[in-house]
Amino acid sequence: MTSTDLRPARPFGAVGTAVVTPLTEDGHGVDLDAAQQVAVHVSEHGNDLIVVSGTTGEAPTLTDVEKIELSRAVRDAVGPEVRVVAGVGTYDTAHSIDLARAHADLGLDGLLVVTPYYSKPSQAGVIAHTTAIADSTDLPVMLYDIPSRTGTALSYETLLRLGEHDRILAVKDAKGDLQQASRIMAETGLAYYSGEDALNLPWLTIGAAGLVSVVGQVAGELERLMLDAVDRSDLAGALDAHRRLVPLVDAIMAKMPGAVAAKAALALQGVLPHAAMRGPHVPADTDQLRALADAIDAADGIPSCDPTRASV
């Protein structure tokens, strides 16, 4: 009998969040207890995938030791049904391989490998870099295509080549080329995950496996409602969830850096004790906090914030 289940393969789960990295109040250290609290919070609010040491996690400012300890702490905090993926990509191939190997024995479910940033390598260089990292451990790999930050996009031909690798299973896409992605999904086994919150619904409707969100730290349950509605071909339900998310996406992704907004939102909700950042980021100012608090309070079905915390 022919299956009527049209859901895509989901090698890294469906609803994911790139979590913040809680710091000590002076910003000098990583607060591992708070990191575990955030991990439990998002796993209890619609998420079955957690990405640590991503851009939202201020990865460029973390030491290798901090990244490894963070991954271990988050893995220990959530059950086996929640996938944990660690960002290990840098602009240095040898360093990225060392990071990948250091994470290999932590019980993780995969590695996030961003396109090398700043140096703007050729596509041949990107392929060599990414393949070397994928070859360095037995962990599955999710590519991260975000040319607005790296300066280099993964080309169609590069994605075809990388899709042939046994351990490269997915792409987190913040490039927004839905036409290219549609071709890649049709021609390879690569699964796609939306890496841009404003495009989560469009991605899901063209066959993306899921999403890796920033807003999911605040609105994971709404994102789960949207994905579940797409799975059952309920366009009206998906649109309703999408439209409820729009003010939050705008407040978190368009008014300040996503890492700043996400950490501020968690502090406003009482999940974090404060919203300390590590330079070059600075915490949200009073006006940004008020706007963020208003957006959280206006969202139906989202844990509201404590207005007395609008100065975190």
Asked if residue 10 lies in contact with residue 209, where contact means CB atoms within 8 angstroms, the answer is yes
Q: What dihedral angle (degrees, nearest 10) is formed by the CA atoms of 299, 303, 308, 311?
A: -70
Residue of 67, 172, 175, 263 with catalytic role: 172
Catalytic, 144? Answer yes
Q: State the catalytic residue, choosing from 67, 117, 144, 175.
A: 144
Catalytic residue IDs: 144, 172
